[in-house]
C-alpha cells in the first residue's frame, strides 16, 4: 500500500474559520513548515510582501534501494498553481465536509505557474535523484488584489518509480497545498515569502512509498 508519512488533519477543518498553512496530499492536510499550530485566517489580508518575485521547485527521490541498478528509473509530471484565497474557500464550502480527492480543475481562477515532465534513468548520485526548476515567475503573474496572505500554492503531481533491486514499480498521483509564505521557526508570528516548493519521495524495502513536501534540512 502506498502511504504518505505525514502529520494530518481532515480537510473539513478548513471550512471553519481556521487556516493551516497547508501541505495537502489528496484529501489530507500536513504541515509543510513543521509547525504544529493552527492559524486563524484573516480573510483577504493584503500581503504583497509575502510573495516572492520568483520561486524554485525541487523534487527529490530521497531513498531507493535499487538506486545503483541501471534498470531503475523515476518519472515525474508536475504542475504548479496559484489559487486565489476566495476561490479556494468557495471550493471547500461547495465540496462540504469529508475527504475529497482534490484536483486543480476543482478550483476556478487558478493560475498555472509552471508545468513539466521528466524521466531519470541514472540514479546513483543526489544530483541524478533531483529534478529542479529555478526562477519560476510568481509575483508578477498574480493580480495585485489577489496577493493575500491566505491564498494557496498547489503542486499537482504524478510519479512512477521502478526499483530494479526490488523489481517493483510504484505509482502515485495527488496534490499538495501550502501557503505563499513561511513562518519563522522561532516566532510563528513572523512571516516571510516562500521561495522554494519541495516534493520528496522515498521507496522503502517493502516497496511502499513515502512522500511529502517538507522543506529540505540544511546539508540535504
For 188-220, the pLDDT digits (tens) are 778 999 999 999 999 999 999 999 998 866 555
* Chain mean pLDDT for the chain: 83
pLDDT band at 184 (very low <50, low <70, confident <90, very high): confident
- Position 186 scores a pLDDT of 78
pLDDT band at 39 (very low <50, low <70, confident <90, very high): low
- Position 218 scores a pLDDT of 59
Give residue limits of the domains in the chain: 9-212
Question: Is residue 126 predicted with pLDDT exceeding 70?
Answer: yes
Least confident of 31-35, 143-147, 185-189: 31-35
Least confident of 22-36, 104-118, 168-182: 22-36
pLDDT band at 187 (very low <50, low <70, confident <90, very high): confident
- Position 219 scores a pLDDT of 58
- Position 140 scores a pLDDT of 98
End-to-end distance of the chain based on CA atoms, in angstroms?
27
- Position 142 scores a pLDDT of 98
Least confident of 19-23, 38-42, 108-112, 169-173: 19-23
Amino acid at each position: 500500500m502506498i502511504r504518505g508519512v505525514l502529520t494530518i488533519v481532515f480537510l473539513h477543518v478548513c471550512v471553519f474559520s481556521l487556516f493551516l498553512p497547508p501541505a495537502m496530499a489528496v484529501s489530507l492536510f500536513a504541515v509543510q513548515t513543521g509547525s504544529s499550530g493552527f492559524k486563524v485566517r484573516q480573510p483577504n489580508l493584503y500581503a504583497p510582501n509575502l510573495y516572492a518575485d520568483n520561486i524554485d521547485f525541487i523534487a527529490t527521490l530521497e531513498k531507493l534501494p535499487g538506486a545503483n541498478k541501471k534498470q531503475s528509473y523515476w518519472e515525474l509530471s508536475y504542475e504548479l498553481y496559484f489559487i486565489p484565497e476566495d476561490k479556494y474557500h468557495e471550493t471547500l464550502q461547495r465540496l462540504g465536509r469529508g475527504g475529497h480527492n482534490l484536483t486543480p480543475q476543482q478550483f476556478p481562477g487558478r493560475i498555472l505557474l509552471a508545468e513539466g515532465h521528466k524521466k531519470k534513468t541514472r540514479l546513483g548520485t543526489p544530483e541524478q535523484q533531483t529534478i529542479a526548476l529555478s526562477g519560476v515567475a510568481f509575483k508578477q503573474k498574480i493580480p495585485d488584489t489577489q496577493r493575500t496572505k491566505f491564498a494557496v500554492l498547489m503542486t499537482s503531481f504524478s510519479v512512477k518509480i521502478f526499483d530494479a533491486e526490488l523489481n517493483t514499480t510504484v505509482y502515485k498521483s495527488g496534490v499538495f497545498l501550502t501557503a505563499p509564505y513561511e513562518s519563522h521557526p522561532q516566532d510563528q508570528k513572523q512571516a516571510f515569502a516562500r521561495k522554494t516548493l519541495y516534493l520528496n519521495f522515498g521507496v522503502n524495502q517493502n516497496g511502499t512509498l513515502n512522500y511529502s513536501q517538507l522543506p529540505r534540512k540544511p546539508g540535504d
